[in-house]
Structure 1
Amino acid sequence: MLVGGAKYKLILLFCLVAAVYLLSSKISPFMGWNPHYPSSVSSPSRGGYTVLINTWKRNTLLKQSVAHYASCQGTDAIHVVWSEVDPPSYKLRDYLKKMVQKKSQTAQKPNLRFDLNEEDNLNNRFKPIQDLRTDAIFSVDDDVIVPCRTLDFAFTVWQTAPLTMVGFVPRMHWLNEEENGVVRYRYGGWWSVWWMGTYSMVLSKAAFFHKKYLELYTKEMPSSIQDYVSRERYR
């Protein structure tokens, strides 16, 4: 009986390993994702990164966010995406500028600038920015604080593949069956990442990407994409 039981367990273990192997080999096609990695990438990013903070009527969080990211060694500049009818007060501007000077640990202090928008729209965070000194952008929401050491490590990872996004909020997409000849995808939240142990994308609420994607998203991609983002924001 003991020998038979051991044999049964061995067969069961073999079946489990085979099932895991098959699942791992099929997961990319199942998600509709067949990644292609180029043999070479663009030249390394110019030093440091620009922190792009998306905020909306949360000045307390904005103050905390600016103070924190100003203290990170790799921060070259901080841009605040402001999406309100009323511009930021002079009091808020002065406070943040003083905070940057106080918290920065580098000889050359980060530049602080507000990118003003009168309409609250998620597309605002992807508008092109003139006169950037860095190729790298760290896009982040005002309520997300990434420790400086972790942020700088992520930046070094991004530098090895600057055409990709490197971030902290993973998600998945699932391939649905075709409907009338059109392939549709379904968005999977955090539970999908936890359950499957893998991901197919990272969200821009805390991620590095190349500055050229701002231009591509706003001016090169179909305007219907921006319309969709605006329309589906609260769904």
Structure 2
Amino acid sequence: MSIHIGIRDHDASATDAERNGGLYSPAKEKAANRGVYSSRSPLLLRRVRQLLAAAKVKTLLGLCFLCFFVLATSRLRSFMGWNPHYPSSVSSPSRGGYTVLINTWKRNSLLKQSVAHYASCRGTDAIHVVWSEIDPPSETLKAYLKKIVFSKSQAFHKPNFKFDINEEDDLNNRFKPIEQLRTDAIFSVDDDVVVPCSTLDFAFTVWQSAPFSMVGFVPRMHWLDKSKNGDAYYNYGGWWSVWWMGTYSMVLSKAAFFHRRYLDLYTHKMPSSIHDYVSRERNCEDIAMSLLVANATTAPPIWVKGKIYEIGSSGISSLQGHSKRRNKCLNDFISLYGSMPLVSTNVKAVDARHEWFW
């Protein structure tokens, strides 16, 4: 019996790896074949992942910045006492606009310029001139100013014009209550101060957001004089002190908005000793009004940045000893109040439309 034994031909069935002395593996062969066509895929995938990660970082940074901006804005409004949604009656048609209250004294030429200018401002609802001279205004002056108001006004509704005539020459007269006012907003101004209409309208919008604050263009400050041993003595600082220190606690009534209720409070509620002081010294009625508003609100005023023009000659502020008199007024008023109601701040309202950098 013969037996046939078949011998496998290794040379015919072996792979290239076996011929080269390696071990054959189907998984290795698939991996090798796949690598021929996708050798660049890992690099491309890494690049896509990097771009996605960068986009996520930028998105997160943007969201963080937005949250910070919203928070900062809300904090700033609360700090300044502003509330854009305050239900003020000035928003109603019957009380829209503002009443310009001009204090004058024997300067009819300046009064004519001032009345003509403020009559041209669209927000002016009425113009009242505080007249405290011995002789009443002439009929010629009355007729001329009424004609000027009518001709200069650009509004369909022409402003009312009236002289508020007082029998005595008293600085307290500028803050007497006015009957039949149609506005809550009072813009108190001296006859030699001109505020451009656009600047005045911006200040009015600021006042509307804080209608019980004083909003004005002339800031002043105070500080405690620590050199006085044991006594609370305060110094009154003018413009250069405000500029140097970067803070203020008053805005002067020579160019400022305030609510009409302060006319009543000044005349009927403020201590009569302060009225007597202002009448006797013929000065400092503006400091008295600042103290009154600060005492009522326990909040600082708001300084509006804007160019104003003084068209007259130098007033009492240029007289020798003016600073000492203001210091004395401030400290005497504080002693009559029994406390220091003024609140300092370093915030000012700026119209971003007129700024180079916002």
TM-score, L = length of structure 2: 0.53
Segment drifting more, 181-190 vs 127-136: 181-190
1:168 maps to amino acid: F
Cα 1:119–1:202 change in 2 (3 A) is same
User: Does the 8 Å CA contact 1:141/1:206 hold for their aligned counterparts?
Assistant: yes
2:169 maps to amino acid: D
Task: Tell me what 2:202 maps to.
Answer: 153
Segment drifting more, 41-50 vs 135-144: 41-50
Cα 1:203–1:216 change in 2 (3 A) is same
User: Does the 8 Å CA contact 1:44/1:162 hold for their aligned counterparts?
Assistant: no
CA–CA distance in structure 2, aligned partners of residues 36 and 106 of structure 1: 32
* Higher share of residues assigned strand: 1
Match of 1:189 among 238, 251, 269: 238
CA–CA distance in structure 2, aligned partners of residues 101 and 37 of structure 1: 37
Segment drifting more, 207-216 vs 41-50: 41-50
Aligned-pair identity (%): 76
CA–CA distance in structure 2, aligned partners of residues 53 and 132 of structure 1: 15
Cα 1:170–1:121 change in 2 (3 A) is same
Task: Tell me what 1:136 maps to.
Answer: 185
RMSD: 2.2
Shift of 1:195: 1.0
Cα 1:58–1:219 change in 2 (3 A) is same
CA–CA distance in structure 1, aligned partners of residues 227 and 96 of structure 2: 45
SS of 1:132 mapped into structure 2: coil
Task: Tell me what 2:269 maps to.
Answer: 220
CA–CA distance in structure 1, aligned partners of residues 240 and 110 of structure 2: 27
2:187 maps to amino acid: F
Cα 1:42–1:120 change in 2 (3 A) is farther
Shift of 1:186: 2.2
User: Does the 8 Å CA contact 1:42/1:163 hold for their aligned counterparts?
Assistant: no
Task: Tell me what 2:131 maps to.
Answer: 82
Pairwise mapping of residues 46-195 of structure 1 onto structure 2 (< 5 A)? 46-176=95-225, 183-195=232-244
CA–CA distance in structure 1, aligned partners of residues 179 and 233 of structure 2: 36
User: Does the 8 Å CA contact 1:136/1:210 hold for their aligned counterparts?
Assistant: yes
2:199 maps to amino acid: T
Shift of 1:37: 4.5
Shift of 1:213: 0.2
User: Does the 8 Å CA contact 2:82/2:210 hold for their aligned counterparts?
Assistant: no
SS of 2:194 mapped into structure 1: coil
Structure 2: gaps of 5 or more residues? 1-78, 284-324, 326-358
Q: Which of the pair has the greater relative contact order for Cα pairs under 8 Å at 6+ separation?
A: 1
1:204 aligns with 2:249: no
What do residues 172-211 of structure 1 show as CA deviations (whole Å, max 9, x unaligned)?
A: 0122459898744321111211111221110000000000
* Higher share of residues assigned helix: 2
Task: Tell me what 2:88 maps to.
Answer: 43
1:173 maps to amino acid: H
What do residues 83-125 of structure 1 show as CA deviations (whole Å, max 9, x unaligned)?
A: 1010000000000000001000011100000001122211110
CA–CA distance in structure 2, aligned partners of residues 219 and 42 of structure 1: 26
Task: Tell me what 2:312 maps to.
Answer: none
Shift of 1:53: 0.2
Pairwise mapping of residues 24-35 of structure 1 onto structure 2 (< 5 A)? none
CA–CA distance in structure 1, aligned partners of residues 87 and 282 of structure 2: 33
CA–CA distance in structure 2, aligned partners of residues 177 and 231 of structure 1: 30
What do residues 19-64 of structure 1 show as CA deviations (whole Å, max 9, x unaligned)?
A: xxxxxxxxxxxxxxxx995989662423100000000000000000
Structure 1: gaps of 5 or more residues? 1-34
